[in-house]
Structure 1
Amino acid sequence: MGRKTILTSGFGLGFYIPALLLEYQLSERQVPAEAVVFENFIVKEKKDKIAESRHDYHINFAVARVAQKFPMDIRDSIDFAAVDQLLAAWERERRRDFIVFSGHWIYILDMYGERVGSESLNVDLLYVDTDLSPSWKSVKKYVPDYAERYREVWLFDAANGQIRCRVPAADEPAVTYAGRPQRLAVHGGGWGMGTYLEKINELERHYELDIVIASEADCDVSNTRHRYWMNDPSWEAWEKGPETGKHTFPRFGEIKAGESPVFATQESHHRLYDLIKGAKAIVSKPGGATLLDSLSSATPVVFLEPFGPHEQRNADLWTQLGFGIPYEQWKLADFSPELLEPLHEALLAHRKAAPSYADLLFDNSIMR
């Protein structure tokens, strides 16, 4: 198998984390693979505004929900001089095998196909949500036939209520439900978006919490009943680690009152997963990467308000499969732990029923 180029985005972490998981899993199978992040190929003034948008979306989820309804033409932001250098390097290296997580890359792939012949490219468009997310909706609006040149691969088949394949966060036995503390993992995805902070007062009456915050201003970190975690504010997905020259999982650490946090990363998976795999449930908006964490760890999801229609469909599928429950429904049952355990058991029974995408790449009869 030839070198795989994994095209992802760091705008949020819903594409970025699965892409790095896949890069690691391919390398473990002795397949050369490289993750390339889209934001390194946009003009500087647009790139500099990402942190501002991240802050705005964190403090006002309604603004984020409105923004995703209006697909933008990302070509207005592309640094075509940088792209030309990238494509020249790909051409010299004879790169032909691509796995695409973000729709923004379609324009660049089409340019590459014009240089080397699109028929010579082997491209999987890997969808981690049950419906098109904003970057894919954007390219669909401006290039309606984009998928005709490539191969679409859906991890989840919402129409038939199935998991087709998965990108596991780890390949280890699930923690038994009885062996998990009365603790929840509470987060808002890579940008800390959603209504999760509003639920803490209700949840803390019943559970201890691992809360992922965007800044220390989000919570009272002196409340020692809970644990608070945060990505290193200086870490950016599009910057490579100086030690390895590769993109890294977020530097992640515990925030304690009066102590300097120690942020760290690891090669195999994101450190948030180490909290999720031992939790009774994930309380979060229903992003695609959250579904992958849930399936890999057999940890149920309690769904908060979705970011957009694609996340609502994610929640619908997980509810249909018996893997998750809407927050308000759980609240009506007084946050009963007894409602969660059957969801864990259903996940446990299905967590490896579907093959991993990395393994499918080796199976010509299925994927090729």
Structure 2
Amino acid sequence: MQLGFHLDRSGILNEVCVLENLYIDEVKNKVPTYRKAFHDNFAIARKSVELARDITDCLDPIKVQLLLEDWSRDRRTSFVALTGFWIPILEQYERFVGTVLEVDMLHLDAALSPSYLVYGSRSERYNHIWFYEPTKESFELQLPMTNEAPIPFHQREERVLAHGGGWGIGTYPQAVRDLLEGGMKLDVLAYFDEDIQPDARICYYRNDPMWSPWLRNGRGRFGFPPIAHFQHGEKPIYLDSGTTHPLFERIRRCRAIVSKPGGCSLMESFAAATPMVFLEPFGRHETANADYWIRQGFGVSFLDWKTQGFDIEILKRAHCNLLNAREHCKTYGGVKYATKNDSEIR
């Protein structure tokens, strides 16, 4: 969604497609059940990484065919994929139109994620864009997130934000307890009613439970989940911020993000110059993410931070490192944008 909005601002026609809309209904309808199971039991979530496989048999052939026909009518030949699970669909489209496509495969992890591993060498002919490239000394390429400058550290609220990514998975509930014992004030993203445990030191936020990534909003577009600030005894009001995830404003104003090392969370950390404090990873690709971010000086493991008494000076240094890195970083703009202005991407 962020990339789509960026292309809009650049005057480049684009369409965002959501993979789940191509699933067989029976498979798609199970997604909320998996989400709840992964939220409740991180061990189950981590096991699922080892079981990743080709999703072809999960795809509805009629839905796929209709999408390919739409693409063909519009003569679509340039694509940006944020997961390797698009590979069998792109391969089918190439056979359908008999044309070699221009495809950027985006890697928001510092190592191959399961969505790419399951397809082996089948993606080699596409253009691979690595954002967190371990072979390079510095972080050089970002996804567009915001035009807002980072808020200086001394102007930020004395709070840290804890969450479990899009599906609410990981060890963040225990981290919240540890942070409270350490005297911290927190913003916490809740995912289900039972996640909200009233405490004067916690501001709870929650995505609209009626929202789904594969449903279009009132403007006929896929969008970010509306979010509400929960206040005890008051009915939550879910608000949509439009072109950025509503939680991003809290990320800009807090001192650190406490979460598992998801690739999108790292990009939000960079855009806001907000340090990451890493909880246990979800798979080897997220382990590589944390190692990379810490090596850049942009974050710290939760265990190390806790051992050092939740020292704010560690966060200040990481914030300064993020600010310095932003001075040299280019912005990815999509395959068509690259042909128009190759100074924006390599």
TM (normalized to structure 2)? 0.95
Q: Pairwise mapping of residues 208-223 of structure 1 onto structure 2 (< 5 A)?
A: 208-221=185-198, 223=199
Amino acid at match of 2:342: N
CA contact under 8 A between 1:128 and 1:288: conserved in structure 2? yes
State the AA in 1 paired with 2:154. A
Q: Which runs of 4+ in 1 moved over 3 A?
A: 364-368
* Alpha-carbon offset, residue 132 of structure 1: 1.6
Counterpart AA for 2:48: A
Taking only aligned residues, the RMSD between alpha carbons, in angstroms, comes to 1.5
2:20 is paired with a residue of what secondary structure?
Answer: helix
SS in 2 for 1:35: coil
On the 8 A contact 1:24/1:267 being kept in 2, the answer is no
Judged with a 3 Å threshold, the aligned counterparts in structure 2 of structure 1 residues 71 and 248 are, in CA distance, closer, same or farther, namely same
Match of 2:51 in 1: 70
Match of 2:108 in 1: 128
> 1:162 & 1:49 partners in 2: Cα distance?
41
Cα distance in 2 for partners of 1:65, 1:352 equals: 36
| Match of residue 131 from structure 2 | 155
Indicate the percent of aligned positions where both proteins have the same amino acid.
Answer: 36
Give me the TM-score of the superposition, normalised by structure 1.
0.90
Task: Tell me which residue corresponds to 1:6.
Answer: none
Distance apart, 1:264 and its partner CA: 1.6
SS of structure 2 residue aligned to 1:178 = helix
Does 1:21 pair with 2:16? no
Matching residue's letter, 1:126: L
- Pick one of 193, 198, 211 that aligns with 1:235: 211
1:364 aligns with 342
Q: CA deviation at 1:367?
A: 4.7
Q: Which residue identity is paired with 1:192? A: G
Contact 2:108 2:263 in 1 (8 A): yes
Rounded Cα–Cα distance in structure 2 between residues aligned with 1:22 and 1:288? 15
Alignment match of 2:22 (pick from 12, 33, 41): 41
1:192-341 counterparts in 2 under 5 A? Answer: 192-204=168-180, 205-221=182-198, 223-241=199-217, 243-341=218-316
Aligned residues: 342
Deviation, structure 1 residue 320: 0.5
2: CA distance, partners of 1:151 / 1:278? 36
Looking at structure 1, the residues matched to 70 and 177 of structure 2 have their Cα atoms a distance apart, in angstroms, of: 53
Indicate yes or no: 2:63 matched with 1:87.
Answer: no
* Displacement of 1:36: 0.3
SS of structure 2 residue aligned to 1:36: coil
Give the aligned partner of residue 32 of structure 1: 13
Letter of the structure 2 residue corresponding to residue 209 of structure 1: L
Q: 2:79–2:104: 8 Å Cα contact kept in structure 1?
A: yes
Structure 1: distance between partners of 2:197 and 2:344? 51
Deviations 1:186-243, CA, capped at 9 Å, x for gaps: 001001100001111221232210000111211313x2321001111110000011x2
Distance in 1 (CA, whole Å) between partners of 2:113 and 2:90 is 19
**Which residue in 1 is equivalent to 2:141?**
165
CA contact (8 A) 2:161 2:188 kept: yes
State whether structure 2 residue 160 is matched by structure 1 residue 184: yes
> What is the deviation of 1:73?
2.2
- The amino acid across from 1:95 in the alignment is R
Q: Does structure 1 conserve the Cα–Cα contact (< 8 Å) formed by 2:140 and 2:328?
A: no
**1:319 is matched by which residue type in structure 2?**
I
In structure 2, list runs of 5 or more residues that go unmatched: none
SS of 2:194's equivalent? helix
Unaligned runs of at least 5 residues, structure 1: 1-19
What residue in structure 1 maps to residue 117 of structure 2? 137
Rounded to whole Å, the distance in 1 between the matches of 2:246 and 2:223 is 11
CA distance in 1 between partners of 2:127 and 2:109 (Å): 16
| Whole-Å separation in 2 of the counterparts to 1:42 and 1:64 | 20
With over 3 angstroms needed to count, the CA separation of the structure-2 counterparts of 1:365 and 1:293, relative to structure 1, is closer
Tell me how far apart the structure 2 counterparts of residues 336 and 75 of structure 1 sit (CA, whole Å): 48
Amino acid at match of 1:123: V
Deviation readout 1:290-318 (Å, 9 max, x if unpaired) = 10011001100000000011101000011
Instruction: Give the whole-Å Cα distance in 1 for the aligned partners of 2:274 and 2:161.
Output: 10
Most deviating of 170-179 and 48-57 = 170-179
Deviation at 1:354, TM superposition (A): 1.5
Deviations 1:324-367, CA, capped at 9 Å, x for gaps: 00011111111111111101000011124211102862333675
CA contact (8 A) 1:130 1:313 kept: yes
